[in-house]
C-alpha cells in the first residue's frame, strides 16, 4: 500500500519560500555552493509553456555517464513531476555546470535500491526529509523503503 500521509500537502507560506530560496543562488551563478548534493532543474510548464525552476536533492550521481537521480519529494502530483511527464527535456544546473537532459522515471526496483542506498549514506538527512514530507519517520528496512518508492517517484536525469 503506497504511503498517503501528507503527500498532497504542497508547501505553502514560509516553507515554500524557504524551499524556493536556493533558486536565487543558482540564478546568481552561485549554485556551485551546493556542490553535487543539490541541482536545479529548469523545465517547461505543461499548461503555461513557461520555464520553471526547482532545486532538488541528488539521491545518486553516476560519475561514469554523468546521470543524476533525484526524488520527487511531494509525489507524482507535484507540478514539476507533472511537467516533466509532459515534456521530459530539462536543463540541469549542478556544481556550476549546465547541461540538457532527459528526465525519466526509473523502475520501482531501481528506485527502491537508490533510496535504500541514500538512507545508508545520509541517514540523518533521510530521517529529516521523511518526517517533514510524510509526517513520520520511515525506518530503513527494505519493505518501508519500497513503500516509499511507490509513492515518491525517482527520476533519472540523463544527459542528451
Residue ranges per structural domain of the chain? 13-65+78-159
H or E stretch covering 23:
helix 13-27
| Beta-strand runs (E) in the chain | 38-44, 51-62, 67-71, 89-94, 97-105, 154-159
pLDDT tens digit string along 68-86?
999 887 788 888 999 999 9
Q: Whole-angstrom Cα distance, residue 70 to residue 4?
A: 20
Strand pairing partners for 101? 90, 159
- Say what the pLDDT of residue 2 is: 42
Among the residue ranges 31-35, 132-136, 153-157, the one predicted with the least confidence is 132-136
Across 44-52, average pLDDT: 94
Among the residue ranges 9-23, 91-105, 121-135, 139-153, the one predicted with the least confidence is 9-23
Across 90-119, average pLDDT: 94
CATH architecture, domain defined by 13-65+78-159: Roll (2.30)
H or E stretch covering 99:
strand 97-105
Residue 23 C-alpha cell reads as 533558486
Output Rg (C-alpha) for the chain, integer angstroms.
15
Considering 5-14, 91-100, 135-144, the range whose residues carry the highest mean pLDDT is 91-100
Tell which residue, 125, 151, 15, 11, has the closest CA to residue 59.
Answer: 125
**Residue 84: is it exposed, middle or buried by C-beta count within 10 angstroms (0-12/13-18/19+)?**
buried
- Mean pLDDT across the chain: 85
- Say what the pLDDT of residue 128 is: 74
Residue 136: band (very low, low, confident or very high) from pLDDT cuts 50, 70, 90:
low
Sign of the alpha-carbon dihedral angle for 22, 25, 26, 28: positive
Instruction: Kindly report the pTM of this predicted structure.
Output: 0.84
Amino acid at each position: 500500500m503506497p504511503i498517503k500521509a501528507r503527500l498532497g500537502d504542497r508547501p505553502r507560506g514560509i516553507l515554500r519560500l524557504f524551499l524556493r530560496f536556493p533558486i536565487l543562488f543558482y540564478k546568481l551563478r552561485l549554485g556551485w555552493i551546493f556542490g553535487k548534493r543539490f541541482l536545479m532543474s529548469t523545465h517547461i510548464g505543461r499548461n503555461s509553456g513557461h520555464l520553471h525552476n526547482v532545486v532538488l536533492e541528488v539521491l545518486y550521481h553516476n560519475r561514469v555517464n554523468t546521470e543524476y537521480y533525484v526524488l520527487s519529494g511531494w509525489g507524482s502530483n507535484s507540478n514539476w513531476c507533472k511537467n516533466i511527464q509532459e515534456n521530459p527535456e530539462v536543463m540541469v544546473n549542478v556544481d556550476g555546470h549546465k547541461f540538457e537532459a532527459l528526465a525519466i522515471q526509473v523502475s520501482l526496483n531501481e528506485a527502491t535500491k537508490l533510496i535504500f542506498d541514500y538512507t545508508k549514506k545520509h541517514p540523518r538527512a533521510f530521517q529529516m526529509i521523511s518526517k517533514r514530507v510524510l509526517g513520520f519517520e520511515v525506518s530503513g528496512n527494505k519493505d518501508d523503503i519500497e513503500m516509499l518508492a511507490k509513492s515518491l517517484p525517482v527520476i533519472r536525469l540523463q544527459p542528451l
